Amino acid sequence: MTAVEPDTAKPEGFVDNDEKPVGYGRMLRKEDPRFVRGLGKYCDDVELPGMLHLAILRSPFAHAKINGIDASAAQAHPKVKAVITGADLAEQGLAWMPTLSNDVQAVLATDKVRFQGQEVAFVVAEDRYSARDALELIEVDYEAIDPVIDVRKALDPDMPVIRDDLEDKTDNHCFDWETGDEEATNAVFDKADVVVSEDIVYPRVHPAPMETCGCVADVERVDGKLTLWSTTQAPHAHRTVYALVAGLPEHKIRVIAPDIGGGFGNKVPIYPGYVCAIVASLVIGKPVKWMEDRTENLVSTGFARDYIMRGEIAATKDGKILGIRTNVLADHGAFNGTAAPVKYPAGFFGVFTGSYDIEAAHCKMTAVYTNKAPGGMAYACSFRITEAVYLVERIVDCLAYELDMDPAELRLKNFIQPDQFPYESKTGWVYDSGDYEPTMRKAMDMAGYEELRREQAEKRERGELMGIGISFFTEAVGAGPRKDMDILGLGMADGCELRIHPTGKAVVRLSVKTQGQGHETTFAQIVAEEIGIPPADIDVVHGDTDNTPFGLGTYGSRSTPVSGAAAALVARKVRDKAQIIASGMLEVSVADLEWDKGSFHVKGDPSQSVTIADIAMKAHGAGDLPEGIEGGLEAQICYNPDNLTYPFGAYICVVDIDPGTAEVKVRRFIAVDDCGTQINPMIIEGQVHGGLADGVGMALMEMIAFDEDGNCLGGSLMDYLIPTAMEVPDWETGHTVTPSPHHPIGAKGIGESATVGSPPAIVNAVVDALKPYNVRHADMPLTPSRVWEAMQGTLQPPI
Amino acid sequence: MQVTMSVNGEEVTKEIEGRLLLVHFIRDHLGLTGTHWGCDTSNCGTCVVWMDDEPVKSCTVLAAMAGGRTVRTVEGLEVDGVLDPVQQGFIECHGLQCGFCTPGMMMTARALLDENPNPSEEEIREAISGQICRCTGYSTIIRSIQWAAAKEAETPVTVGSAS
Amino acid sequence: MQVPAPFEYERATSVDHAIALMDRLGSEARLVAGGHSLLPMMKLRLANFEYLIDINDLHDELGFIRVTDDEVRIGAMTRHRELLESDELAAVFPIFRDAEKVIADPVVRNRGTLGGSLCQADPSEDLSAVCTTLNASCVIRSGDGERIVGMEEFHVGPYETAVADGQMLTEIRIPVRAGGSSAYEKVERRAGDWAVVSSGAAIWMDGANIADARVGLAAVGPNTTGIPGIAEALAGQPPSDELFAQAGAIAAASANPSTDMRGSAEYKTHLANELTQRALRRAAARAQEA
């Protein structure tokens, strides 16, 4: 028998390769063994003794007055425990709740319904089938009101006022917002050789995570403590809001986010259903489960986008971009429920100047109410950077079209140069670091760009339609510095706590919450890199407000830039303390110790060393510690980022279009991302892949549309189409690494880059393919019908 | 009414309503919560299980219809503590992120490999085309299934595959 | 998740048993085969029945594909997957394999049946268009015996068929003629979606000339549509792109689609033309090969 030397340097799951990232690199995920066994525990898997089931009655009308509700038949159903209407909630002062944008939203409609699918009443019954049955027994007397559906007409003087619940409200205006310098921008437009304008619509889409939203509320009868298992991306923020809404003392609320089946921003807001379940458990004294069905998810929870943009770009005749300006009409639905930092009602749309060094920029925006579901910021949008990047990458292509310039060449000519970083954009965003040209060149090399253009030219000769689309994006993620950013007054910082147990194993507690991003792995890796304990020996605890420090949660690609920084810094704090204890153990001064990823040794004498495990035992053990040092080896911090981080990437998409049927086939997609320092390249690639598929969805098929009566036409997965494996290519990914100067490990975040960057690449490719038809722009979703109409010159905006 | 079926090799008998969906029978009556549901219209495929050795969408099968038949769920993939190569492949190739579609994907993958031990990329794409993943963009799922196929070609699988 | 309203479940063990059950339970009973059309509608509560009669045990009796020299008979319980995989069927009518490749998805195809698809009578449904193209007859059985109806008669309107209470579709019969072949073309927004438009074509050759041709369209009107004008235009002519363009124009002229999320009426009309040409070309090429 041959003795096998255990390779202690490589933790379980480690895959050796030539990548040299921070931490343990491409290691397999710690969460997977439970998921592949079907042992993940999602919200609907929570089962409590005596648990009841809640179902919500929703409005069939987009806009209607409620004259009365008769719930008596439902109440008489033998398995029904309670039927609650808006009037019942109003008695408790709970009929309305604040949204994350300082508006209010009805928990249950009292006066009237304002969108199809709005919550009107709920039933609590012994089982989910009976709860659903009882909904049929509730009679609601509606009186229809003309709905406001066409966003372009929402501010017309004769339109019905949707938000007559707001004092003195006489129109459907939601807010105005402006950024940049109008005068300076007009000046560069006046002097420009070329000005190109285009109307660009980013239609309403939906994140549609595979798991819908839901919760289990359990109010303990004796001490009144509420435990809420909930599909939330932000458990701590939700806890505070529940305290503010329901008047429950915050220490009597425990929010647990169990495994979450995808979020993408859909699980950031607080939905009426959660509040209903809490009320039900309070009233009935039993645990209550609410899980929405797919239709409820699609028609009532946080949608995304819905921006109607007029984009304009000014340039010299040789292709130097001078300025960009835009006018935006934003559809916010019936309530302003966007989840954005308070000072940023349009999110980070202000980065619409993209990756280009220009002289001036200006944006003017008007947001309106319509009789549609609330929401607006979701679907991996990085707080509206999806819309901003789509606008700039589309309008730059329109400019290339007018100048008859290669779109890659035009972009290369206008990039912000490496020596300009940190770069302050003309709308006031300070890009932390970047080196754009190598990323662009790498993507072009991977694609074989010149060869593709040659192939395209040949195919055009033969009447075949092939398109090559480019997008180069810069993101702004990791919200955010507390001086600028808060949600409902809560600063966007993140706590992190690290404890090293006496035997040298560790537990790290996060304020953020994975919905598939792999936090249990990557956060262990970050801590591992800093403290030298293998990731397998580090337990990651998250998603439970009773057991984790406060922080604002996982969305806007903020986990790595904010919470990841917190994890690195808390580990360094523990390491500093460990160094002091080590100095006592080795009887040398702190300055005479050297760190060697897992152990301290005396400078010049590596044989004199103590490991973190030795130090941890000492810290918890008998005997004196150096003066002023408390026992134990743990620390907690709250990290407030100095700035956002600015990941970027170059995407190239190749499409073929059947000239007879106008069907688009995405043949290739090349994505080169730069998210700064990489923690786990396998997980990064996975995140990019998912976002690219989102892009195919939005560009080619996804849309939440409404008919003129306000009926939602995308209320099931039969109608709201999400790409399958048949519509997407095998992704070709690459990367460059430009670390963030202010992040402790130089990481920038990757969660949303591909969702942000891919739609314009695909649309640009389709438009490029249609050049023989003189098409300069075509709005998403580019279904076969819409592509064919673009070829006929008859294509209309989708909304 | 009473229904009896074999689930992961064990015979179960329960009193149910005629309208009970198989997915709810599996999850709520048997506590096997590895099988998920994600839509109402049999489009998403998170609920895929085997009935009589074929993948079916259990949200669109009545529990009563499964009476007298055999059902296999994700919990039945691992045998005697040994993961099925498909399960291993999903771990090795990062075939999952949130994990919600994973059980359904693996059940379909297992059935595919039983029938076609060496599927092409296109055949894999088609096999899983009735199932939606919102996280992975599918490439790593395909690689996971290819990994399992390669693994099985190397070492014929005797546990975890269909009898 | 949406759940159906309460009903009583019955399981039929034979066609006779199913018919007896329907006779006993009356108009509040409905047959369920694969369930992939019916159960989603019941979950969404667009359809409610007091009784469901599960006929999956009838697969032994009604799950068959029998090919003879002059006729193909297919049992109503034949599943999509069986239609897709049958080499015997593909040899006579390749249109079935063309269509089955793009009907729903492989997991749904494991359960869904020919009979269920036809009885759903969705104007976008592909097998109805296939059967229309092939001039299939539907065998409907009741306590009083059997009757046989053509597709035009079978489809009374959208979601409505000639199968009355107490009756069931048991099989379809398709005449086989020498020198023929067939093909199916479909445009869908995404794999598994219903057709934006589909076109099926069958051609019978007599030497170098077309003896007869049939075209069936889905999703261009209230029912799947057969277009007799095309047979007239093509009969006696040698196959050519010009001829098929003429046929495409006839198909477009007889299409009456409406604008919806799947596409504009103009686009669908265009597809009726384009897909008809493609299906005819492919069917002709196959017929000539054979």
- Distance CA(C184)–CA(A264), nearest Å, equals 39
Looking at CATH, the fold of the domain delimited by C62-175 is given as 3.30.465
Min CA distance, C149 vs chain B (Å)? 30
Average pLDDT over residues C164-184: 97
**Could you give the residue ranges of the DSSP H alpha helices within A466-624?**
519-531, 565-586, 612-620
Average pLDDT over residues C54-75: 98
Q: Could you please report the per-residue DSSP string of B86-119?
A: HHHHHHHTT--SS-SSHHHHHHHHHHHHHH-SS-
Per-residue model confidence (pLDDT) at position A513? 96
In this structure, CATH architecture of domain C8-55: 2-Layer Sandwich (3.30)
Closest CB from B21, B41, B65 relative to C54: B65
Beta bridge partner(s), residue A431: A423
Interface test with B, best of A132, A210, A719 (most B CBs within 10 A): A210
Interface test with A, best of C36, C102, C120, C187 (most A CBs within 10 A): C187
Q: Is C164 on the interface with A (CB under 8 A)?
A: no
Per-residue model confidence (pLDDT) at position B157? 55
Per-residue model confidence (pLDDT) at position C223? 77
Contact A330, A376 (CB under 8 A): yes
Average pLDDT over residues B75-87: 97
**Could you give the residue ranges of the DSSP H alpha helices within C10-73?**
15-25, 38-43, 59-62
- Distance CA(A572)–CA(A595), nearest Å, equals 11
Residue of A nearest to B124 (CA): A725
CB pairs under 8 A between A and C: 66
Token pair 């950013």: residue: A485
Confidence of residue C226 (pLDDT cuts 50, 70, 90): confident
Question: Cβ of C189 and A701 within 8 Å?
Answer: yes
Contact B47, B37 (CB under 8 A): yes
Contact A100, A268 (CB under 8 A): yes
Token pair 């093509």: residue: C234
Closest CB from A35, A128, A211 relative to B38: A211
Per-residue model confidence (pLDDT) at position A395? 98
Q: Is C187 on the interface with A (CB under 8 A)?
A: yes
Question: Cβ of B137 and A32 within 8 Å?
Answer: no
pTM of the model: 0.97
Neighbors of chain B with 3 or more C-beta pairs under 8 Å: A, C
Per-residue model confidence (pLDDT) at position A799? 86
Q: Which residues of A touch B44 (CB under 8 A)?
A: 210, 294, 717
Taking only the tens place, the pLDDT of each residue in A676-730 is 999 999 999 999 999 999 999 999 999 999 999 999 999 999 999 999 999 999 9
Average pLDDT over residues C95-123: 97
Neighbors of chain A with 3 or more C-beta pairs under 8 Å: B, C
CA C147 to each of CA A74, C20, C165: distance values in angstroms, whole numbers, following the listed order: 46, 17, 14
ipTM above 0.90, yes or no: yes
Q: Which residues of A touch B96 (CB under 8 A)?
A: 32, 35-36, 516
Per-residue model confidence (pLDDT) at position A732? 98
Question: Cβ of A36 and B92 within 8 Å?
Answer: no
Question: Cβ of C267 and A705 within 8 Å?
Answer: no
Q: Which residues of C touch A724 (CB under 8 A)?
A: 105, 190-192
Contact A722, A655 (CB under 8 A): no
Q: Is C46 on the interface with A (CB under 8 A)?
A: no
Q: Is B43 on the interface with C (CB under 8 A)?
A: yes
Which of 2-41 (B) contact A at CB < 8 A? 17, 19-20, 24, 27, 31-41
Q: Which amino acid is at C135?
A: N
- Distance CA(A433)–CA(A419), nearest Å, equals 9
CATH class of B85-154: mainly alpha
Domain borders along chain C are 8-55, 62-175, 180-289
Question: Cβ of B40 and A716 within 8 Å?
Answer: yes
Q: Which residues of A touch C105 (CB under 8 A)?
A: 724
Per-residue model confidence (pLDDT) at position A142? 98
Q: For chain C, give the percent of residues with pLDDT over 90.
A: 96
Per-residue model confidence (pLDDT) at position A314? 98
Q: Which residues of B touch A516 (CB under 8 A)?
A: 96-100, 135
Interface test with A, best of C7, C264, C280, C282 (most A CBs within 10 A): C264
- Distance CA(A54)–CA(B36), nearest Å, equals 19
Both tokens of residue A219? Answer: 């109010």
Min CA distance, B53 vs chain A (Å)? 19
Question: Cβ of C187 and A784 within 8 Å?
Answer: yes
Question: Cβ of A717 and B39 within 8 Å?
Answer: yes
Question: Cβ of C192 and A784 within 8 Å?
Answer: no
Which parts of chain A sit beneath pLDDT 50?
1-22
Q: Which residues of B touch A44 (CB under 8 A)?
A: 27, 33, 36-37
Question: Cβ of B121 and A129 within 8 Å?
Answer: no
- Distance CA(A522)–CA(A505), nearest Å, equals 17
Per-residue model confidence (pLDDT) at position C225? 74
Interface test with B, best of C13, C39, C42 (most B CBs within 10 A): C39
Min CA distance, C37 vs chain B (Å)? 9
Question: Cβ of C39 and B60 within 8 Å?
Answer: yes
Other beta carbons less than 10 A from residue A771's beta carbon: 14
Looking at CATH, the fold of the domain delimited by C180-289 is given as Enolase-like; domain 1 (3.30.390)
Closest CB from C1, C7, C44 relative to B19: C7
Considering chain B, tell me which residue range(s) the CATH 1.10.150.120 domain(s) occupy. Answer: 85-154
**Closest of C149, C132, C130 to residue C140, by C-alpha:** C149
Q: Which residues of B33-45 are buried (b: 16+ CB within 10 A; e: fewer)?
A: bbbbbbbbbbbbb
CATH superfamily of B2-76: Beta-grasp domain (3.10.20.30)
Question: Cβ of C190 and A661 within 8 Å?
Answer: no
Considering chain B, tell me which residue range(s) the CATH 3.10.20.30 domain(s) occupy. Answer: 2-76
3-state secondary structure of C97: helix
